[in-house]
């Protein structure tokens, strides 16, 4: 399985691709950060992100996209830009029929470091070790994107979410039930309990 991790942001959007090996071992394929100038209007910035993200989807053909779930903060302007970038990447993946999984920051930290409250330095250190990299990925957005991909591999990967093969048609994927549900594990368990009760 090939997983594309996305650390959403309007100024810096981290992208990291990993391949899953045996026993869920991860190998880094690519990592980068898409930057947009803050003086540009939001539509132009989102357009640049869309172009770059489409290129990554073309070049790396992931089986699933793992995106950080956004939480409200006090800084509304920052959260709005982050949410816009997140929604854009979700839509671009869905348009190609690629499943999208959402993971909270604490889920990612716990998966990678064993501590849901780990700081960025600890996450970067563990990503470097897990992927056996010669040097830490920089900036932190790059390491966070790889951490999101690793988290999905270890905590959220499922053959039901994978869309193997050279074609990734959204209609075929929906018919086969292969799509992200955008729910946390607790929400997914609750939804399953309600279905079972019927």
Q: CA–CA separation, 4 vs 162, rounded Å? A: 12
Tell me the binding residues.
7, 68, 141
Q: Which residues of 176-190 are buried (b: 16+ CB within 10 A; e: fewer)?
A: eebbbeeeeeeeeee
User: Cβ distance 85 to 46 under 8 Å?
Assistant: yes
Tell me the binding residues for Mg(2+).
7, 68, 141
**Residue 68 is among the residues annotated as catalytic for this protein:** yes
Choice among 63, 107, 141, 144 that is catalytic: 141
In Å, how far from its chain's centre is CA 102? 7
Q: Give the CA diameter of the chain.
A: 53
How many CB atoms are located within 10 Å of the residue 127 CB? 29
**Residue 172 is among the residues annotated as catalytic for this protein:** no
Choice among 63, 68, 107, 144 that is catalytic: 68
Choice among 7, 63, 107, 144 that is catalytic: 7
Q: CA–CA separation, 1 vs 51, rounded Å? A: 24
In Å, how far from its chain's centre is CA 48? 18
**Residue 107 is among the residues annotated as catalytic for this protein:** no
Which residues are the active-site residues?
7, 68, 141
């Amino acid at each position: 399985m090939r997983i594309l991790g996305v650390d959403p942001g309007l100024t810096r959007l981290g992208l990291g691709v990993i391949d899953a090996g045996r026993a869920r071992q991860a190998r880094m394929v690519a990592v980068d950060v898409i930057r947009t100038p803050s003086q540009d209007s939001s539509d132009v910035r989102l357009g640049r992100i869309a172009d770059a993200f489409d290129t990554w989807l073309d070049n790396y053909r992931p089986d699933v996209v793992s995106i950080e779930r956004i939480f409200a903060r006090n800084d509304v302007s920052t959260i709005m830009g982050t949410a816009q970038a997140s929604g854009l990447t979700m839509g671009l993946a869905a348009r190609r029929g690629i499943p999208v999984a959402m993971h909270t920051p604490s889920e990612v930290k716990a998966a990678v470091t064993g501590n849901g409250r780990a700081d960025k330095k600890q996450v970067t250190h563990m990503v470097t070790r897990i992927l056996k990299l010669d040097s830490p990925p920089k900036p932190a957005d790059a390491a966070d994107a790889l951490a999101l991909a690793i988290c999905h591999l270890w905590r959220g990967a499922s053959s039901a979410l994978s869309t193997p093969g050279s074609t990734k048609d959204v209609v075929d994927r929906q018919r086969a039930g292969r799509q992200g549900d955008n729910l946390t594990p607790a929400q997914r368990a609750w939804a399953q309990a309600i279905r079972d009760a019927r």
